[in-house]
Structure 1
């Protein structure tokens, strides 16, 4: 049994750090600075894609990413909070011999620093994220990379996340996906993306993780 967890909006609530770092980038670029609540949609998609949408596809995207990381790497990644019930869930899953991995579009180095900071790294067999050159920022690419690197049978694994990108990436690689509703994606977004089920609190993840990873082999979408 193997479970891949998204990070932002799934294990931790990163709203303050991400939105303040986006605001920092906008201010440095001389762009209008939006309120935090108008920027929560930036939590989930690859950073460059989010800025491309926010800036209207301008040639300032790479500068925006650089400025964002300038603040986020020093301050923003710790403006974060572990969701209630997550440490107990991870401990219970480990006790049940479920192999746990992190699969996040965030830079891998940032993901590890966050998990180390909150004392969660020890629960995971591997922590995977994107690279500075944007490799593996797309969830489909990232999950494929993890499956290959760890030699994981997709039929024995499930992806858990709060946004459509998690479900789409899972389906592209033959995994089922569980949508969680305490993050930043809507219930409809997750259902439309094809999650196997929705879960409203961490405690509720145990049963579907065990059930979905015990299923028969599946073929990847489009295979």
Structure 2
């Protein structure tokens, strides 16, 4: 049995909120704890969205053990401080309200650990818009976006033919494709034109005011 009605899955970082200060500060903290030199801004920006352990591995010469250590250090700062160094993009609450008013069932689907996602969504007053907040687990379960989306579809009994994924990185698009969903990329996050060219979404939304209409259009509900 599937969930009745059209459904939208939303990425969190770079889509609903701008997490750069908290994530970048926590990455730099972790790198410093390992005694390594700080990484540049381009590397920090590229790390927002993809699974973080893999990003740390890339920063640390592919050393998987050091990447796990870095992730543990990252969480030392991120959990109490970094997750609140964040900001909801202007217009997001209004866009979510419009979608909900039009009968769209909304879920968060983020590769960030679920416990952090839940705290962010509640802290910034977005909880009333979402049926459920989904994320990975602290042990790395469902950190892959395709696996996470598959879990959301199954656990929430969502009809993939009436569902769209909205995110800012190629992982959101490829995860959607693996699960036969339409995909919307947002232009205000951390994805690049190059990655959208390599992993094309069904559409790119340039700014937040255009978001609700784009989602409604992809779900066949354009006004």
TM-score range, shorter chain: over 0.9
1:104-150 CA distances to partner (integer Å, 9 max, x unpaired)? 01010001101111000110011000001101100000000000001
Secondary structure of 2:21's aligned partner: helix
Match of 2:118 among 87, 99, 112: 112
Partner residue, 2:208? 202
**Contact 1:104–1:129 at 8 Å: present in 2 too?**
yes
**C-alpha distance in 1 between matches for 2:195 and 2:152:** 25
Equivalent residue for 2:22, pick from 17, 24, 34: 17
How many angstroms apart in 2 are the aligned matches of 1:150 and 1:90?
A: 19
**What's the TM-score, normalizing by structure 1?**
0.93
Q: Deviations over 1:52-83 (max 9, x none)?
A: 11111112111111000110001000000110
Unaligned runs of 5+ in 2: 1-5
Q: Does the alignment pair 1:97 with 2:103?
A: yes
* TM-score normalised by structure 2 residue count: 0.93
Q: Corresponding residue for 1:41?
A: 46
SS in 1 for 2:200: coil
Q: Could you list the runs of 4 or more consecutive aligned residues of structure 1 that deviate by over 6 angstroms after TM superposition? A: none
Aligned CA-pair RMSD: 1.2
| Corresponding residue SS for 1:44 | coil
Measure how far apart 1:187 and its partner are. Answer: 2.3
Which deviations, in whole Å up to 9, do the C-alpha atoms of 1:144-180 show, x marking residues without a partner?
A: 0000001111110000000000000000000010010
Asked if the contact 2:136/2:143 (under 8 Å) is kept, the reply is yes
After the TM superposition, which of the residue ranges 105-114 and 53-62 deviates more from structure 2? 53-62
Alpha-carbon contact 2:99-2:216 (below 8 Å) kept: no
Partner secondary structure for residue 60 of structure 1:
helix
Between the aligned partners of 1:146 and 1:190, the Cα distance in structure 2 is: 24
> Structure 1 residue 138 and structure 2 residue 141: aligned?
no
**2:31 and 2:38 in contact (8 A); partners too:** yes
Query: Partner of 1:219 in structure 2?
Result: none
Contact 1:6–1:166, Cα closer than 8 Å, also in 2: yes
- The answer (yes or no) to whether the contact 1:187–1:198 under 8 Å persists in 2 is no
Does 2:27 align with 1:4? Answer: no
Q: After the TM superposition, which of the residue ranges 15-24 and 195-204 deviates more from structure 2?
A: 195-204
What is the number of residues matched between the two proteins? 215
Q: Where does the alignment leave 5 or more consecutive residues of structure 1 unmatched?
A: 216-223
